[in-house]
A and B are shown apart, each in its own frame.
Chain A
Amino acid sequence: DAGVIQSPRHEVTEMGQEVTLRCKPISGHDYLFWYRQTMMRGLELLIYFNNNVPIDDSGMPEDRFSAKMPNASFSTLKIQPSEPRDSAVYFCASSLIPGTQYFGPGTRLLVL
């Protein structure tokens, strides 16, 4: 398997623009997670899905953030409008059995 795939790998945008991050989980995995990594706050869980249904979005920082999983092989994390403080590395992870989460390579987002 190719592992968890994320796109784009790097994104530079201007404040106020919409940003869409994409993730393809490992085939057959029924859980998908979105994390954010910053120097100040480390790695934080934003939201996770089970069988395409959002289970816990308590980590989503504010209404400007939204995530969807329209099918088992695709998820998006959208920021609208983006702000400089959203600059971070965003990771997607997936798992099949409890406890073993596999991470994608991450998307480095810079909001100017």
Chain B
Amino acid sequence: GIQVEQSPPDLILQEGANSTLRCNFSDSVNNLQWFHQNPWGQLINLFYIPSGTKQNGRLSATTVATERYSLLYISSSQTTDSGVYFCAVDSSGSARQLTFGSGTQLTVLP
């Protein structure tokens, strides 16, 4: 099956700093999503981005499908950004069967 690698595994930032999270995948995909799992365990959709670039407030994401990676940018980080960020991809053709990476644990210090 498809392999999904996320880096870095852990990241500690001071409030206000910027960060870039990376997701590499081993096969072509027709679905890629970024999620944020907050400290209470809730999984929150950030982006559906199988290709191209999207922005939502302080967050933006870019997927370069031909080179099999995606980047999540967090600018002016806040303590509420803390949690685990997951990349999930699907290459099955159905765009339904998400395979999750192991996540990046982000801690933003006040």
Contacts and interface: CB of A to CB of B under 8 A. Distances in A.
Interface of A: 31, 33, 42-45, 48, 50, 55-56, 89, 91, 95, 98-103, 105-106, 108
Given A43-B86, A43-B100, A48-B96, A106 B31 contact: no
B33 A91 contact: no
A98 B95 contact: yes
The DSSP consensus for interface residues of chain A is strand
Given A105-B41, A106-B41, A100 B98 contact: no
B100 A56 contact: no
B42 interface: yes
Interface in B46-80: 48, 50
Nearest to B92: A56
Contact of B48 (A45, A50, A99): A99
Interface-central residue, B98, B100, B103, by most chain A CB under 10 Å: B98
B18 interface: no
Interface of B: 30-31, 33, 35, 41-45, 48, 50, 86, 88, 90, 94-103
Given A42-B102, A98-B31, A91 B97 contact: no
A42 B100 contact: yes
Contact of A91 (B43, B96, B102, B103): B43
Contacts of A56: 97
A91 B2 CA distance: 21
A106 B35 CA distance: 15
22 contacts: A42-B100, A42-B102, A42-B103, A43-B88, A45-B98, A45-B99, A55-B94, A55-B96, A56-B97, A91-B43, A95-B96, A98-B94, A99-B30, A99-B50, A100-B45, A101-B33, A101-B45, A103-B35, A103-B44, A105-B41, A106-B42, A108-B41
B97 A48 contact: yes
A14 B100 CA distance: 30
